[in-house]
Amino acid sequence: MNENLLEGEGYALSEHTILHIQQHNRGVSGPASTGARAVADIDSALARDYSGIASGILRRSSKRNALHAEQPRSAVEAESKPTRSGPERASNKSRSGVKDHSKSIRRIVEEHLNTKLIVHSPMSVFKGARGTCVMFHTPLRKFHVCSLLRRPQPLPWRGLAIGVFVLLFLALCMPAWAQQVEISGRVVSTTDGTALGGVTVTVKNTAISTMTDNNGQYRIIATGDAVLVFTSVGFQTTEEAVRGRREVNTFLEPMASTLEEVDINAGYYRVKDRERTGSISRITADEIDRQPVNNPLLALHGRAPGVVINQQSGVPGNAVQIQIRGQNSLRADGNYPLYIIDGVPVDSQPISSTGLLTVHGSDPLNTINPANIESIEILKDADATAIYGSRGANGVVLITTKKGRYGGSQIDLSVSTGMGRIPQKLDMLNTDQYVAMRQEAFRNDGVEPSGNPTDFLAYAPDLMVWDTERYTDWQEELLGGTAGVTNAQLSLAAGSQTTSLRLGGGFQRETSVFPGDFGYRKGTALLRVDHRAFDERLQVSVAVNYGADNNKLFHHDMVGEALTLPPNAPAVYNADGTLNWADGTWVNPLSHLLKTNVIQSENVVANTGITYRIWQGLSLRANVGYTVNRTEEQRKVPISASNPDNRGRVTGSGALYNHATRSWLAEPQLIYKRNLRNSRLDVIIGGTFQDRQRDNLRISTAGYVNDALIGNINAAATVNVLDEPPVHYRYAALFGKVGYGIAERYFINLTGRRDGSSRFGPNKRFANFGAVGAAWLFSDEAFFKRLLPAINYGKLRASYGTAGSDQIGDYGYWDAYTATRYTYQGIAGLTPDQLFNADYSWEVNRKLDAELELRFFADRLTVAANWYRNRSSNQLVGYPLPAITGFTVVQANMDATIENRGWEFRAAVSSRPESRLSWETALNLTIPRSELLEYPGIESSTYAQTYVVGEPITIIKLYEALGLDENGIYQFADVDGNGTIQTADRQVAWDAGRRFYGGLRQTLSYGNWSLDALVEYVRQQGQGYMRHFSTPPGFFANQPVQVMDRWQGAGDLADIQRFTQSYSYYSAYLNAINSTLGIADASFVRLKTVSLGYRLPGGIANRLKLKNASLYVHGQNLWTITGYDGWDPDRPGSAYLPPLRMYTLGIQVSF
């Protein structure tokens, strides 16, 4: 492909081009401070035959650019003084600013030599980090010409629109003298094994120097005892002693931060950040590693604009909800994004679990070790997601695991330990207040409390039987434990010139805050091998991610007890250490701990990628993946968990749930890349074949007479098999992408996909999706540079297109009978289980997106504003039908349209690159808004009480509270005037969505110290504290202190209904929860993570024979500022265990 460049007609260098020619042996940091100086250097260095050429070029250029005399110096300086962030910038700019001037170079050289140049094939042209180099033969000599192209720092003078430096290195292959030999070798990058062109190879302490070609090959003359020095921008300088060898191969390690921005994983292809046309957020290992989380998605909290992460519970293993740019489907189960791990889709639907602690199911990503992740990319707009077609509507989460290294070996070990506690408690009534509340309630109701359990309307053991002086803080007692966290990671990265390997293992253990021996353990392993062969024509990679976890829980939600147990409830243990049942007056909360629920899962994600370059820019690729997830859940409800009085009558029960998902994927692809005169073409055409099989087996057993037998199916008196039908899903697609970049400034990207899914009937099985994205790097335009030189980078980007969703149950279009759950007279019955509609089809999501990104003052300030609008229509919903049709819904596409639109802003400021105290402040802000645009017939649909046309999709319909009546009872607006308060009166459409949210990240580093903190902020209203309590104040359950502000007598202007222990006012209380009284401001600012690290000084590390060693402290969920009256403002109204406040201390060493 590169060879083609030489075949075409060359183009002239820009008028503003400066050719800077420097003698090779002085290196880039040489004293070429002015054009005139350079002339002198070159003139003296060039061999006689060539002096004319070089000076000719130089004269020509310097004549044209006499005004730019200072420019070479600044450019050279910027390159030769790498600072912490300097190399990254330099590299970015040089890479992104690369222009191919090989043809011009050739033409100019030919002109001056007055001879035909012979291309030194096949390594004649290569592009490195710094530009394009061409190797030429003249009839007599061979030499390299390199154009080192970079955009300079913004310079004040007029006329500098494109700054291009061409460095001409002449490597004269002199005949060797006696003790010197020709040494050859190859230089590759340790990260991806790519050959590095343009690396300067110098014989140490001499003027002899050369440069590698595009295959990373070099030749140099040196003595057997010489030392070779390899330098390249963006890479660490490496020295290799020759030690008599004829071949000296080496590897260059990139500077720590240079990887970050350059390449973005867009799924089927990678794209340079500056050329990207789609909306993609990226989180890298650097940020993930600083957070003590066990699920990779949790690392995204507050970091990616437009992405809402909802941790449902602080119990490890719970599914994490992720929503990318809002809710697109009316159905709660139609909003899962697509998860792709190393190119292999992983089912994103949580694995259902029955344990109350895993209410939302367990997460399919649990067994993916965050420590193995290199980056997570979140694809948001149509340009990025349309290539995923029917699976892209809700966004795509791409997880890329870490790779090995080419050359050398490195072992990384990291061990951390820490602890977690619940971050906050609710302020509950103490015993005095509680007893007073209960007594007042009985007084109010005119009922005398009774100690007799059969007086079921007056029974009050808390007042009549229990000690009314006793006090227990049940939140402390049941949830106040300290969870211990241990995490150990060991990995080996090693490789040769052509093969890299990574082997990683991790172990994690987290105990719970609940009393008793519960906790979560996880073991993971990663193997990745990359290999290049046949002159890099063949590239093969194999990655296997394995994870297994064991989640030992109990089958009950302890949080409810912690909040509602009366503060004077009895002691949990008797003096002899047995559970105290207090004569059957209560259910001892610790008895729930005996009902164990153990969830074990195993997960394998394996993939193989093979790429073969058939001819020049044309490659063939095959991506083959396989995933297995097996989850086994075992539940035991022993006799010992019941009240001793009942034990004679009770038997034990158990349940065993097995879940398995297996899927394979095959994606053949054809890739074509071609550099044209002034443009670049990038084409991918591919196909996807995916097959997924889900099996569920649920067995519940009962009637065990002895606890020891529970779990043994043969010992159960009854066995009930709930055999959920296996689900077979298949998916096929054709996809394509055409990227076209012109003049490094204009980029256009077309993507499309034709999808077929087994979830739809034969008539509707296939659908097309596509998008167009474009980007304009206007800062590279000459006029712009003149007008606003302070802006060193400016990009305008927009995209429009469609993605879809096939997230609907399988087999829905079949007119079929299903086996009945049980038999009738020994016959397995058949029953029509649904109405069928053979014609339903994909939900379609039309996405419009535009972004403006500006960087000022050499990247020190970045601001970006992104606007988006997603319209999701053709909603696949259960079309509501009257029950007289036999069923109440039929699956159908509705004309309902949901719009999610919003703004996403990013801003970052950083310190001067050379300052010793370096810092960066990055802010992201999302202002989302959703609206149900249309939904004909919503009034008669199942969503009549859920959504309102014209209102956000996040609304909740509430009763309008009208205060208390003269008896102290809640009153509500009877909208329909029928005299009763019922669902139809919930007419206040109140928005429970986020108004805005985001994160503020601050990093600081000084010497060996580094600090990284993230503050998450959310503005929203949510369900208040009442949602945690299902009974009115006055009932046999504790309440928060807020209830003390209650009605006490006629004329009271209280907010809280009178205390009552009667069911007469129960419905008024339930209505209050679902009324405007039940809502609260749930905005918060939370110090989400803090990480403080200390890196051992190099000298000490060296003495310890370590490459690197650091100590760190991480904190998670440290501090929250909120006015919220409930438990956790991040999950308003939810009474599940909040995410824990976690501290870990760790050490990380590399050797």
Near another protein in 812-841, by CB under 8 A: 814-825, 827-832, 835
Please report, as residue ranges, which positions from 537 to 556 form the binding site for another protein (by CB under 8 A): none
Q: Give the residue with the Cβ less far from another protein, 413 or 447.
A: 447
Segment interacting with another protein (CB under 8 A) among 149-157, 452-460, 865-873, 1126-1134: 452-460
Minimum CB distance to another protein, residue 748 (Å)? 23
Q: Which two tokens stand for residue 689?
A: 């074949």
- Extract the tokens encoding 45: 């260095």
Q: Cα dihedral sign for 341, 345, 349, 351?
A: negative
Which one-letter amino acid corresponds to residue 159? G
Q: Which is nearer to another protein, 406 or 959 (CB)?
A: 959
Burial 1062-1086 (b: 16+ CB within 10 A, else e): beebeebbbbbbbbebbbbbbbbbb
Q: Work out whether 982 is an interface residue with another protein (CB under 8 A).
A: yes
- Cα–Cα distance measured from residue 674 to residue 680, given in angstroms and rounded to the nearest whole number: 6
Stretch that binds another protein, among 637-645, 1012-1020, 1059-1067, 1114-1122 (CB under 8 A): 1059-1067
The rounded distance, in Å, linking the Cα atoms of 499 and 406 is 6
Size of the site for another protein (CB under 8 A): 75
Looking only at residues 698 through 737 of this chain, which bind another protein when binding is defined by CB under 8 A? 702-703, 717-718, 720, 723, 725-732, 734
DSSP 8-state code for residue 739: E
The correct pick among 612, 776, 784, 811 for binding another protein (CB under 8 A) is: 811
Distance CA 172, CA 177 (A): 14
Phi/psi for 90 (5° steps) reads -55, -45
**Nearest-approach distance from CB 1020 to another protein, in angstroms:** 31
* Residue 266 Cβ vs another protein, minimum distance, rounded to whole Å: 20
| Residue with Cβ nearer another protein (11 or 1063) | 1063
The least CB distance from residue 386 to another protein, in Å, is: 18
Q: Check residue 880 for interaction with another protein (CB under 8 A).
A: yes
Q: Please say which residue, 453 or 1097, places its beta carbon nearer to another protein.
A: 453
SS3 at position 780? helix
- Give me the helices (H) in 276-322, please: 285-288
Residue closer to another protein, measured from CB, 1009 or 1063: 1063
What DSSP assignment string belongs to 1077-1130?
GGEEE--EEEEEEEEEEEEPPHHHHHHTT-SEEEEEEEEEEEEEEE--SSS-TT
Question: How many residues are listed for the chain in this entry?
Answer: 1151
Quote the least distance from Cβ 568 to another protein, whole Å: 23
Question: Dihedral angle at the C-alpha atoms of 310, 314, 319, 325, nearest 10 degrees?
Answer: 10
Window 904-943: contact mask with another protein (x via CB under 8 A): -----------------------------------xxx--
CA dist., res. 383 & res. 849, Å (int): 9
Which residue, 224 or 761, has its beta carbon nearer to another protein? 761
Q: Identify the residue among 28, 544, 907, 984 touching another protein (CB under 8 A).
A: 984
Give ∠ CA 216-140-100 in degrees, rounded to 5. 45
Q: Beta-carbon neighbour count of residue 389 at 10 Å?
A: 31
CB-CB neighbours of 853 under 10 Å: 20
Rounded Cα–Cα distance for residues 1110 and 1126 (Å)? 40
CB neighbours of 701 closer than 8 A, spacing ≥ 6? 653, 654, 655, 656, 710, 713, 716, 718, 719, 720
Residue 527 or 944: which CB sits closer to another protein? 944
Q: Between 937 and 1097, whose beta carbon lies closer to another protein? A: 937
Q: Report, in Å, the least distance between residue 843 CB and another protein.
A: 18
Taken in order 642, 644, 646, 648, the sign of the CA dihedral is positive
1120, β-bridge pairs: 1086
State in angstroms the smallest separation of the CB of 210 from another protein.
43
In this chain, which of 178, 884, 1050, 1053 binds another protein, going by CB under 8 A?
884
Residues of this chain, 730-789, that bind another protein according to CB under 8 A: 730-732, 734, 756-758, 762, 765-766
When the beta carbons of 887 and 1094 are compared against another protein, the nearer one is: 887
Q: Whole-number minimum distance, CB 436 to another protein, in Å?
A: 24
| Least Cβ distance, residue 1025 to another protein (angstroms) | 23
**Greatest distance between any 2 Cα atoms in the chain:** 117
Q: Where are the beta strands (DSSP E) in 407-451?
A: 409-421
Q: What is the CA radius of gyration of the chain?
A: 34
Q: In angstroms, rounded to a whole number, what is the distance separating the alpha carbons of residues 867 and 798?
A: 9
Nearest-angstrom CA–CA distance, 1118 and 1013? 11
Please identify, using beta-carbon distances, which residue of 948 and 1149 lies nearer to another protein.
Answer: 948
Stretch that binds another protein, among 326-334, 743-751, 877-885, 1078-1086 (CB under 8 A): 877-885
User: How many CA atoms are closer than 13 Å to the CA of 717, on its beta-carbon side?
Assistant: 9
CA 134 distance to own-chain centroid: 41
3-state secondary structure of 297: helix
Check residue 235 and report its DSSP letter.
B
| Least Cβ distance, residue 1062 to another protein (angstroms) | 10
Q: Please, what is the minimum distance in Å from the beta carbon of residue 694 to another protein? A: 10
Among 184, 574, 983, 1102, binds another protein (CB under 8 A): 983
Nearest to another protein of 457, 1041 (CB atom)? 457
The answer to whether 294 touches 269, Cβ cutoff 8 Å, is no
Q: Looking at 30-38, 62-70, 182-190, 685-693, which segment touches another protein (CB under 8 A)? A: 685-693
Q: Does 687 bind another protein (CB under 8 A)?
A: yes
Residues 861, 920: contact at Cβ < 8 Å?
no
Q: Minimal distance in Å, beta carbon 951 to another protein? A: 19
CB of 668 to another protein, least distance (A): 7
Q: Which is nearer to another protein, 178 or 884 (CB)?
A: 884
Closest to 151 (Cα-Cα) out of 787, 908, 781, 676: 781
Q: Is residue 890 close enough to count as binding another protein by CB under 8 A?
A: yes
Quick one: which segment of 525-533, 704-712, 808-816, 962-970 binds another protein (CB under 8 A)? Answer: 808-816
Closest separation between CB of residue 617 and another protein, Å? 18
Cα–Cα distance between 400 and 877 in angstroms, integer? 34
Tell me how far, at minimum, the Cβ of 533 lies from another protein, in Å.
22
Nearer to another protein, 685 or 852 (CB): 685
Contact string 1065-1084 vs another protein (x = CB under 8 A): -xx-----------------
339-398: contacts with another protein (CB under 8 A): none
Of 657-676, binders to another protein (CB under 8 A) are 668, 670
* Residue closest to 608 by CA, chosen among 618, 621, 589, 617: 621
Q: How far is the CB of 979 from another protein (least distance, A)?
A: 11
990-1019: which residues touch another protein (CB under 8 A)?
A: none
Q: How far is CA 816 from CA 813, 831, 887, in A?
A: 9, 8, 14
**Residue 374 or 691 having the CB closest to another protein:** 691
User: Smallest distance, Å, CB 661 to another protein?
Assistant: 15
If one asks whether residue 883 binds another protein (CB under 8 A), the answer comes out as yes
List the interface residues with another protein, window 453-492 (CB under 8 A): 453-457
Torsion sign over Cα 937, 942, 944, 947: negative
Residue range at the interface with another protein (CB under 8 A); choices 290-298, 477-485, 775-783, 883-891: 883-891
Closest C-alpha to 320, from 342, 345, 339:
339
CA 996 to chain centre: 20
Task: Report the alpha-carbon distance of residue 258 to residue 254 in Å, rounded.
Answer: 7
- Residue 1026 CB, nearest approach to another protein (Å): 18
Binding positions for another protein, 61-120, rule CB under 8 A: none
